[in-house]
Structures are given as structure tokens and as C-alpha cells.
Amino acid sequence: MKTSKRKSTYNQTGFRSLSTTSVLALVVLVAIVIAAALLFAKGSPATQTTSTQQTTIQTTSTTKPPSSTTSQQTTSMQQTTTQQATSGKTLRVGIGVDADTLDPAGQTTTTISNIIRLIAQPLFITSPNGTIVPVLADSYNVSSNGTVYTIKLKKGIKFQDGEPLNSEAVKFTLERILDPNVKVPSRGNFLLIDHVEAVDEYTVNIYLKKPFAPFLGVLTSAYIIAPNATKQLGDKIANNPAGIGTGPYMFKEWVKGDHITLVANPNYWNGTPYFSQMIFKVVPDASTREAMLLSGDLDLIIQPPPSDLASLSSRGDVKVSWTISTREMYIGINTQYGPLNDTRVRQALNYAIDKDSLIKYVLFGLGSPEDSILPPFVLGHIAVGPYQYDPQKAKQLLAQAGYPNGFSVTLITPNGRYLFDTQVAETIAQYLRDIGIQVNVRTYDWPTYVSTILAPLNKTELQLFLLGWSPSVPDPYFYTFQLFHSSQFTPNGFNNFFYNNTEADKLLELGATTTDPQLRAQIYQNLTKIVWNDAPMIFLYYQGFVVAYRSTLSNVVLFPYEMVDFASIRMG
């Protein structure tokens, strides 16, 4: 083709006049490119670097304080660590994704939120056991009609730039999240705020448009930032969030695509931070992350390749730690599509899947069968399942529903979004074929998949679809309302089961407004029984969240919502 044509032409004409010039020219070309690249590579990444001020101290380790009750709560996050100097050590962590922005209000992934939480802290956080505990807040009170949240702040806390943490800062943060001129992808959770009032230096009132029980949970994703520092930074906050938080670590530098570095805040209000520096290396490939852990380039990696967990665990120099996460994996069922309209058919699908084998052989053990519509750590969790593997019963149910010879159905799945998603879908298809259903599996890339699953009822092609649900706020409301309420059919909400049950609707509305935790738990327990029986999905498993680290590390605590308590880690 092109090559050979040129070759023949130049071969004939070339040799007489060809001289050292040709070779020289080539060498010069390569040399110029190398030189230019070297110059650039040296020059440009440095422009991203910015250092911040100094300051002091300790970790937001989430010990498990008593669970919060609605009114007057004074548990504070006083830590066990005593005052000391930083260890001078550096923690190097391998993460799979880079940040889009370091603006605390712009976060879209748990991985980067996990880093942001070290810089800027919320009023409350969700502890590993699922209870909401105060961080910057000291106590709170909810008005009897559920629309006014009065929050008292801890006193004497300073931002990294020296500004005091006060009610104005909280007001500023929340108003900024609501400001349409600021890009806040998670704004939806905050839209019920009517206005915020700074009552006195350390008291803030948040007025809601209507009662919203999960609001305290929503506040766990609002990282309080310093008004002056933020205003001065302007757009630069996205790349250089210097001095904006109250957290144990301060932003130092972000080399995009490569790493984010934090340094200890010497003036931290809650003890000296243990590590003097934390480096988060962006390593997109799981196998490379693993190699970098083994070669000693990293101390801890998020999500090592699951297939290697057994060999990693057997090594002396590495430890593996995992927890059931708040991510529920399920096969969604379009309850208004043909045979899937029949509850017995949907139950049959549930009985047809051997969840235990699926987890053991496809997921390398990294999961736990779903026993409820809510994960174990979430308020209102009650074990009503799992549906036991029983293909005979599944076949009977199909026969009762009038499909003794099965029917044909399409199962769609994203590729590479969740742990072994495509393999899981193929395995499930096989189980369904075993009870006589003809399953056609189709695989999509994630952006196409999202468009497909959000289609409205009159346009949807959905029959069965694999999905993982892990709301940013682990409150029962976010696991249920958008999914199961009949007003939430896609694209308004995320009920693409097109599930419609008036009794469930009532409980969902009640759960959204009832602030008393015990009453709320009961509501969601009742809801669980209804939805579980109606089976708008094939309940699969809670996905595991796993990290691997060098055995010199200790006290590695995982949050079920796919985060690591980096501040509590010790080394050596």
C-alpha cells in the first residue's frame, strides 16, 4: 500500500543522492522532539504545585460513639490519641481514579471524597457501624415539625488559613452548595434547604422547605469551608484548595493524572496528625497497583485485583482487608414488561440464582448475599432473605404463572463498571436458562448504559438490567424512595422497575418525613417486607470493598461506604 509505493519510488531515486544528511536529519528530528518534551515535562507540572501554610495535629479516627438520637445530642468525637508530634512518616496510597476537581462541593466519587475529607470536614460523619456522629458539630436539635435543624458548633476550631469555624462559615458553605453558579453535581440532596441562619457565633439554624428525615445524613457530604480563603481562591479552588478546611491534612500539590499530596496540619484541633505527608498516586490499572504495592512503591492500595486476593493474603509482607460495602448489586426487573409483570415470575427469577456459588466462584468471595433491600449498616435493615437457591420451586412458580416452558428475555449489563459485571450477568443468564428462560445478554459501555436505563416507560427497552446502587448518603431514604416510589418513574427519579405499590408509596412518604429513628426503622422494616415479596429485582449481593496494604501498617479501618479511615492508620 502506501509504504510499498513510497518504498519503490524512493529506492530508485534515493540512493544516488542519499547521504549522511538523511541520517543526520532524522537524528536531529528525534533529538528536537526529545528536547522539547523534556523541557515541557519539567516546566509544566510544576505550575500545578502550590504549598500551603503550616498548622498541627491528629486524626478524625472514627471510633464508634453511641448512636445519635434525634434531639439534643452531645456526643463529641473526642479521640483516643494523645498530643504528639507527627511521626515524620509518609503514607503512599494507590487509587484507581483521578480527581475531576478538588473543590469539596464538586465531588462525584467516593475515592476522591475520601481524600477531601482529610482536608475539609463535615458537621457530621457516618461511622463504620452506620450511626451518624458529630465532627464539627457539637450537638443538634430538630424542631418538632421536622423543618428546623439547630446545630451547635464545637468552639475554638480554626480553618487551616486561621479563620475561625463559626456559624457564618456553615452558612457560607451551604449557600455556596445551593448557588447555581457553582458546579455542584450532588446539589439535588440539598435542594430542600429553604434558608440558613447564623443565630450566634456557634449556632446555626437550617430551615427546610418541608420535613426531610435524612437531612442529617445529607449534611455528612457538606464539607465546611473557610469563607475568606474560598472567596480569595475563586476558580482556583478546583486545583488548589489551600487553607480551606479544618481537617488534619492540608493540600500541598496535585499533579493531574499522577498524584495528590497532602501534608499534616500542625494546628489541627483534634491532636497531631500521625503522618507528616500523604501521597495519593493515581494508578488506573488494578494489576499495576498490586505490582506497586509488592515492589514497595505504595503502602496501601484501593481495590486490588480480586483474582489475586488469595495469593496476596498468603504473603507475609502484605495484608488484605475487606468489608461488605453499602453497594447493593441487583438485576433490575421492568415490572411492566410482559411476563415480568407477574410477581410469581419475579420470585421465580430470585429462586433460580445460586447467590452463594456466584459470590464464591465469580467474585472470589468478595460479596455477601443480599438479605434485605437495605444493607446491614443502614437504619431499618431487617434480614428477610435471601431467597434460597431452589430451581424446582422456581420452575413451579413459572408454571403457576402460565410459563411452564419459560419465555425469552434480554439482560443488559455494563462492562467494567462493577466488579466482574459482565461475568456476573453471564452467570445469571445461565442460571435462568436452567429454569427454561431464554436469556439474551447484551453488554454496553457505561455512558450508553446510563442512557438506556434512564429511558421513560413509554420508550424503555428494559427487561432485565444489572446495576449497583450505593447512594452517597447511606440513609434508608436514598436506598428506597427514588427506586420504589411510583412518582419516581424514570426520568423523574430512578424507579426504572416501574414499580407501583400504593402501600409501599405510603411507607416511603412516611419514611421521608419521620424524624424519630425508631419509628423510622419500623417504617423501613415494613417496607422491606413488601418490596422483598414483590421482588422488583433479583436480589444479588452486597459488593465487597477491599484494600491491600503492607503489613507494616496497622489500624486500617474501612467504612462500608467504600472509604478508608486514612487518618487512623499507623505505620511500623
Partner 1 sequence: MAAIGFFGKRLIGVAVVVISVSIFMFVLLRSIPGDPARLLAGFDAPPEVVEQIKERYGLNDPLPVQLIKYLENLFTLNLGTSVRTDSPVIVEILHRLPYTLYLSAAALFIAVAIGVPLGAYAALKKDSPIDYFVTALISVGTAMPTFWLGLMLILLFSVQLKLLPAGGAGNPSSIILPAITLSLPVMAPIAKTTRFTFLEVLKEDFVKLAVAKGLRRKTVIFKHVMKNAMVPVVTVLGLQLGNLMKGAVITETVFAWPGIGRLVVDSIFARDYPMVQGAIFVLALIYALINLAVDSLYAAIDPRIRLGGAS
Instruction: Tell me, by CB under 8 A, how many residues bind partner 1.
Output: 84
Distance (Å, whole) CA 504 – CA 22: 79
Which listed range, 15-23, 55-63, 128-136, 334-342, lies at the site for partner 1 (CB under 8 A)? 15-23
Which listed range, 10-18, 244-252, 389-397, 564-572, lies at the site for partner 1 (CB under 8 A)? 10-18
CB of 527 to partner 1, least distance (A): 18
CB of 89 to partner 1, least distance (A): 18
338 lines the binding site for partner 1 (CB under 8 A): no
CB of 553 to partner 1, least distance (A): 19
Applying CB under 8 A, which of residues 52, 60, 101, 525 lies at the interface with partner 1?
A: 101
494 lines the binding site for partner 1 (CB under 8 A): yes
Report the run of H or E that residue 332 belongs to, with start and end. Answer: strand 318-333
Applying CB under 8 A, which of residues 438, 491, 518, 533 lies at the interface with partner 1?
A: 491
Applying CB under 8 A, which of residues 90, 129, 143, 186 lies at the interface with partner 1?
A: 186
Radius of gyration of the chain from its Cα atoms, rounded to whole angstroms? 27
CB of 309 to partner 1, least distance (A): 17
Q: Say if residues 322 and 544 touch (Cβ distance below 8 Å).
A: yes
551 lines the binding site for partner 1 (CB under 8 A): no
Applying CB under 8 A, which of residues 49, 210, 450, 503 lies at the interface with partner 1?
A: 450
C-alpha cell at 120: 475539609
CB closer to partner 1 out of 147 and 480: 480
* Cα 557 from chain centre: 16
DSSP output for 67-90: PP-SS--------SPPP------E
C-alpha cell at 184: 455542584
Applying CB under 8 A, which of residues 297, 308, 356, 390 lies at the interface with partner 1?
A: 297
Applying CB under 8 A, which of residues 203, 336, 423, 452 lies at the interface with partner 1?
A: 452
CB closer to partner 1 out of 259 and 319: 259
C-alpha cell at 412: 443488559
Which listed range, 1-9, 218-226, 425-433, 538-546, lies at the site for partner 1 (CB under 8 A)? 1-9
- Which residues within the stretch 21-60 sit at the binding site for partner 1 (CB under 8 A)? 21-23, 25-26, 29-30, 33-34, 36-41, 43-45, 47-48
- Which residues within the stretch 104-133 sit at the binding site for partner 1 (CB under 8 A)? 106, 108
- Which residues within the stretch 381-440 sit at the binding site for partner 1 (CB under 8 A)? none
Q: Say if residues 61 and 79 touch (Cβ distance below 8 Å).
A: yes
CB of 424 to partner 1, least distance (A): 19
Applying CB under 8 A, which of residues 180, 234, 316, 572 lies at the interface with partner 1?
A: 180
User: Helix 421-434 to helix 343-352 angle, to the nearest 10 degrees?
Assistant: 110
Closest C-alpha among 13, 519, 11, 52 to residue 264? 52
- Which residues within the stretch 228-287 sit at the binding site for partner 1 (CB under 8 A)? 235, 238-239, 255-259, 281-285, 287
Q: Say if residues 368 and 541 touch (Cβ distance below 8 Å).
A: yes
DSSP 165: P
Applying CB under 8 A, which of residues 84, 448, 518, 551 lies at the interface with partner 1?
A: 448
19 lines the binding site for partner 1 (CB under 8 A): yes
Distance (Å, whole) CA 222 – CA 190: 9
User: Helix 343-352 to helix 391-400 angle, to the nearest 10 degrees?
Assistant: 160
Q: Please list, in sequence order, all residues whose beta carbon lies within 8 angstroms of the beta carbon of residue 166, skipping any fewer than 6 positions away.
A: 153, 198, 201, 202
* Cα 363 from chain centre: 19
- Which residues within the stretch 139-158 sit at the binding site for partner 1 (CB under 8 A)? none
Q: 245 vs 117, 159, 267, CA distance in Å?
A: 9, 5, 12
CB closer to partner 1 out of 458 and 502: 458
DSSP output for 363-421: STT-EEE--SSS-TTSTT-----PPP--HHHHHHHHHHTT-TT--EEEEEEESSSSTTH
* Cα 467 from chain centre: 14
Q: Say if residues 152 and 166 touch (Cβ distance below 8 Å).
A: no
CB closer to partner 1 out of 294 and 348: 294
7 lines the binding site for partner 1 (CB under 8 A): yes
Which listed range, 121-129, 179-187, 318-326, 506-514, lies at the site for partner 1 (CB under 8 A)? 179-187
CB closer to partner 1 out of 71 and 443: 443
- Which residues within the stretch 344-383 sit at the binding site for partner 1 (CB under 8 A)? none
CB closer to partner 1 out of 17 and 405: 17
Distance (Å, whole) CA 60 – CA 559: 13
3-class DSSP assignment, residue 483: helix
DSSP 474: -
Applying CB under 8 A, which of residues 50, 71, 100, 175 lies at the interface with partner 1?
A: 100
Applying CB under 8 A, which of residues 88, 162, 188, 456 lies at the interface with partner 1?
A: 188
CB of 521 to partner 1, least distance (A): 23
CB closer to partner 1 out of 13 and 438: 13
Q: Say if residues 131 and 64 touch (Cβ distance below 8 Å).
A: yes
199 lines the binding site for partner 1 (CB under 8 A): no
Applying CB under 8 A, which of residues 454, 456, 503, 551 lies at the interface with partner 1?
A: 454
221, 467, 353, 333 alpha-carbon torsion, rounded to 10°: 110
Distance (Å, whole) CA 543 – CA 513: 29
CB closer to partner 1 out of 169 and 282: 282
C-alpha cell at 117: 475529607
552 lines the binding site for partner 1 (CB under 8 A): no
Pairing of strands 277-282, 259-264: antiparallel
Binding characters for partner 1, 464-483, by CB under 8 A (x = yes): -------xx-----x---x-
CB closer to partner 1 out of 190 and 269: 190
Angle at 157 between CA 155 and CA 163, to 5 degrees: 120
CB closer to partner 1 out of 296 and 404: 296
